[in-house]
Amino acid sequence: MRRVAAIILISMALTSCSSFVYSAKQTTQVKFQHFLANQFGQQLEKGIDSVIEQLTMKGGYLDDPLVRILLPPPLGLVIGIARDLQTNPQATLLETLINQAAESTIPVAGPILKNIVMNMTIPSLENLMTAGNTAATDYLKEKSGVLMQTLLLPAITEELHTNGAIELYGQLLQAKKIADQIPTTLTDDNQLSETFEHQLETVKMVTPELLGNYVAEQAMSGLFKKVAAKELSIRKKARGL
């Protein structure tokens, strides 16, 4: 009888020990996942700082093909098709001015994005960490959109007024007489002209009054392209790639 009792006690002790080991293992795994999530958040914050620093440098937008802001339609479409951007000093100047406006105002986005990351819970960071390669960027884009537009738009519009970009854009639109360019801008090929005419009809035209909106949208788009690239880099390093 005593032997049976001893066996039962030993069995209970082993079971308890096994449960303790399992529980300890689970706790360690949870803590490790929390650590990784916290590291992921910190790397995102550093990545945002790095992206903003890159974009605010001279040529941060203008010299980077990934984020360079092109002339808005219809001007960009006409000049692009006519291939005279390089031979049109005013068009070149305008493209430089709108990119410089983005470079000088995009820093307002940094605190907004970092604040979103800093206020995320560990479970939320874990979910983003294990999701797709652009999950964090998509989340930041969704959460920051309205506030960033609210802060960035007036700053960019003011800069475009100050550096003369809006006035110059209006002058170029007038000089190009966009509506009159359709028959002569391209070639005598009727089919090509019809294609171009269709493009002008379907594309969203940007008036001088809306130039700020256009540049702000393009600046934000470029920002998130860079953030997405940085996020992918963070994930690759975490995977040891």
With tokens 């002209």, the residue in question is 193
- pLDDT score, position 76: 73
Q: What are the contacts of 26-34 at 24+ separation with CB within 8 A?
A: 33/126, 34/122, 34/126
d(CA 42, CA 48): 10
Q: Does any domain span residue 22?
A: no
Q: Residue 197 in contact with residue 182, Cβ under 8 Å?
A: yes
d(CA 50, CA 117): 15
d(CA 113, CA 123): 18
Q: Does any domain span residue 3?
A: no
Which pLDDT tens digit goes with each residue over 109-137? 999 999 999 998 888 888 888 888 899 99
Q: Does any domain span residue 71?
A: yes
Tell me which amino acid residue 201 is: E
- Six-digit token string for 125: 């960071």
Average pLDDT, the chain: 80
Q: Residue 120 in contact with residue 40, Cβ under 8 Å?
A: no
d(CA 94, CA 71): 8
Q: Residue 65 in contact with residue 95, Cβ under 8 Å?
A: no
Q: Which DSSP symbol is given to 70?
A: P
Q: Does any domain span residue 213?
A: yes
Q: Does any domain span residue 176?
A: yes
Q: Does any domain span residue 150?
A: yes
- pLDDT score, position 124: 86
Q: Does any domain span residue 28?
A: no
Q: What's the structural domain count of the chain?
A: 1
- pLDDT score, position 235: 87
Q: Sorting pLDDT into bands at 50, 70 and 90, what band is 74?
A: confident
Is residue 232's pLDDT more than 60?
Answer: yes
Q: Does any domain span residue 63?
A: yes
What are the backbone angles phi and psi of residue 170, rounded to the nearest 5°?
Answer: -60, -40
Q: Residue 88 belongs to what domain range?
A: 33-238
Which pLDDT tens digit goes with each residue over 144-202? 988 999 999 999 999 999 999 999 999 998 886 654 444 444 444 444 445 545 544 44
